[in-house]
Chains A and B, each alone.
Chain A
Amino acid sequence: AQSVTQLGSHVSVSEGALVLLRCNYSSSVPPYLFWYVQYPNQGLQLLLKYTTGATLVKGINGFEAEFKKSETSFHLTKPSAHMSDAAEYFCAVSDPPGNTPLVFGKGTRLSVIA
């Protein structure tokens, strides 16, 4: 069965610093990969997704992620953190790809320090 591992349940960065949130997945075939963000007391909002094609995908709010098949990774980055980026981030996989349920990682809480 597919699984998603997010390394670090809590990451703290200074405002303006690089954000790096790690995600590794296990799947028998290249799946579809997603990053969602959850602000307090809200639902999940899609940040970006990888389906096929270019392995470096750009999302909203300046975030991007790179699909590395050899490393089974899909790490999320942002060059410069902003206070408004403080939230919970979830990596998810859809396997098989399509209208199928998402399998989520445990989430990483991002704190941004002024």
Chain B
Amino acid sequence: DAGVIQSPRHEVTEMGQEVTLRCKPISGHNSLFWYRQTMMRGLELLIYFNNNVPIDDSGMPEDRFSAKMPNASFSTLKIQPSEPRDSAVYFCASQREGWNEQFFGPGTRLTVL
């Protein structure tokens, strides 16, 4: 298996632009998690899905952030409009039901100028 796939790996954009991050979980995994990593706050959960249904989005910073999981093999995290404080590394992770391990993608490094 190719593991969790994230795209793009790097994104540089200007303030006010829309940004879309993509994630393909490992086949057969039914839970998907979006985390954000910053120097100040460390690793924190943004949102997670079970069986394509959002379960907890309390970590989403504000309405500028939205996430979808239209099917079991694809999820997006969108920021509109982006701001410099959104600059961070965004990780997607997936987990199979009953398995006690989350598998992480390589992350997307977002820079908002």
Contacts and interface: CB of A to CB of B under 8 A. Distances in A.
Interface of A: 32, 34, 36, 41-46, 49, 51, 90, 94, 97-107
B42 A97 contact: no
B43 interface: yes
A46 B91 contact: no
Given A43-B104, A43-B105, A45-B104, A101 B97 contact: no
11 contacts: A32-B100, A41-B109, A43-B105, A43-B107, A46-B102, A94-B100, A99-B98, A101-B33, A102-B102, A104-B42, A107-B42
A96 to B, nearest CB: 12
A45 to B, nearest CB: 7
Q: Which of B45, B48, B102 has the most CB of A within 10 A?
A: B102
Contacts of B91: 43-44
Interface of B: 4, 30-31, 33, 35, 42-45, 48, 50, 56, 91, 93, 95, 97-98, 100-107, 109
A45 B105 CA distance: 9
B60 to A, nearest CB: 13
Contact of B42 (A43, A44, A101, A105): A105
A42 B91 CA distance: 10
A39 to B, nearest CB: 11
A100 B49 CA distance: 10
A64 B38 CA distance: 27
